[in-house]
């Protein structure tokens, strides 16, 4: 069984998927660009039930995977220099040229795992100099912005999501026929920003049924010769998104060029702390430490294949670290 709920309606959708795929009669490349969608597709075996001419690939939806080697090396060096660091647990073992945060902790660095920025603010009471490693897309950025407004020092590796999708299309490494757009990000930014991409797109929720229906909606667009932004996740995602969250982001962060693992620099895709909060910007506060880091080491190849995976060029299981150092 793929689904835990009643199968009657979803079985009909699967039948429709098979019929539309047959009518299209060529290989269709669809890309999901949200880490949670990737998990749902894997957990419920959704790729296995699709017709053979429908190919699903994984895009840059994991905020940890797209965090650049330079940012990993910077935060590790801050930790090794004696600066207390707070971070989400999923970035703890990401390897860099100077090791990982987990390895820095084994060497005596003060590295604390937190679940929320509120945890980091509480940690600041005991460790006033703690630096929060802020990463993620528009989904997590408002929480970091709130923490900065409340005095937390942050090293920002936050990113805007849409520029990466545009970069994927421009790179032309894959012939992408349509995108399953990210549900969490879309809840913040809304549906309007995706209109700049002239490709079939569907924003879906995170139940297996949501993803399957979204795939059908994409195939129907392709079959009809349409290229629209459709919203399957109407129960959460609105046309204008979450204006309050966007205002919070815009108040605290400037849009800058951003470094992405697997892409390099993508113009106007990064978020850095505005000058009015510069006392909470770890890149300024600890500039003397960071200026001493040999970031040329960050350019050397590592065994991690996240870059190829998030561009859809290989599957996670083809990476030599998958299930070993990397245990998603």
C-beta separation of 165 from 33 below 8 A:
yes
Rounded distance between C-alpha atoms, residue 227 and residue 180, angstroms: 13
- Highest average pLDDT, of 36-45, 63-72, 160-169, 284-293, comes from 284-293
Does 316 score more than 60 pLDDT? yes
| Averaged pLDDT for residues 7-12 | 78
pTM score of the predicted model: 0.88
For helices 117-126 and 141-149, what crossing angle results, to 10°?
30
pLDDT, tens digit, for every residue of 195-233?
Answer: 999 999 999 999 999 999 999 999 999 999 999 999 999
Q: pLDDT tens-digit profile of 49-73?
A: 999 999 998 888 888 888 999 999 9
Q: In the structure, what pLDDT confidence band is assigned to residue 2 with cuts at 50, 70 and 90?
A: very low
Degrees (nearest 5) of the Cα angle 293, 298, 301?
Answer: 155
Could you tell me if 204 and 191 are in contact, meaning their C-beta atoms sit under 8 angstroms apart? no
Q: Of 9 and 7, which is predicted with more confidence?
A: 9
Taking only the tens place, the pLDDT of each residue in 81-115 is 999 999 999 999 988 899 999 999 999 999 999 99
């Amino acid at each position: 069984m793929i689904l835990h709920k009643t199968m009657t309606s979803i079985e009909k959708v699967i039948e429709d998927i098979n019929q539309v795929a047959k009518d299209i009669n060529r290989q269709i490349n669809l890309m999901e660009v949200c880490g949670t969608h990737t998990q749902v597709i894997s957990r419920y075996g959704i790729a296995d039930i699709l017709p053979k001419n429908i190919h699903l690939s994984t895009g840059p939806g994991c905020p940890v995977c797209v965090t650049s080697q330079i940012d990993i090396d910077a935060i590790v060096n801050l930790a090794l220099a004696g600066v207390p660091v707070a971070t989400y647990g999923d970035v703890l073992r990401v390897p860099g040229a100077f090791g990982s945060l987990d390895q820095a902790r084994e060497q005596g660095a003060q590295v604390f795992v937190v679940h929320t920025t509120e945890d980091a603010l509480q940690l600041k009471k005991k460790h006033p100099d703690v630096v929060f490693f802020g990463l993620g897309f528009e989904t997590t950025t408002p929480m970091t912005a709130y923490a900065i407004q409340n005095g937390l020092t942050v090293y920002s590796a936050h990113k805007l999501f849409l520029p990466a999708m545009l970069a994927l299309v421009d790179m032309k490494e894959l012939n992408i026929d349509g995108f399953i757009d990210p549900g969490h990000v879309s809840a913040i930014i809304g549906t309007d920003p995706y209109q700049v991409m002239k490709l079939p797109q569907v924003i879906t929720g995170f139940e297996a049924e949501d993803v399957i229906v979204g795939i059908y909606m994409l195939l129907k667009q392709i079959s009809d010769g349409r290229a629209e932004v459709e919203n399957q996740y109407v129960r959460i995602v609105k046309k204008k998104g979450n204006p309050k969250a966007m205002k919070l982001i815009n108040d605290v962060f400037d849009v800058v060029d951003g470094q992405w693992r697997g892409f390099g620099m993508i113009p106007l895709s990064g978020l850095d702390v505005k000058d009015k909060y510069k006392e909470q910007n770890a890149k300024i506060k600890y500039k003397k430490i960071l200026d001493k880091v040999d970031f040329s080491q960050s350019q050397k190849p590592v065994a991690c294949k996240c870059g190829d995976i998030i561009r859809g060029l290989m599957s996670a299981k083809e990476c030599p670290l998958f299930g070993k150092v990397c245990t998603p």
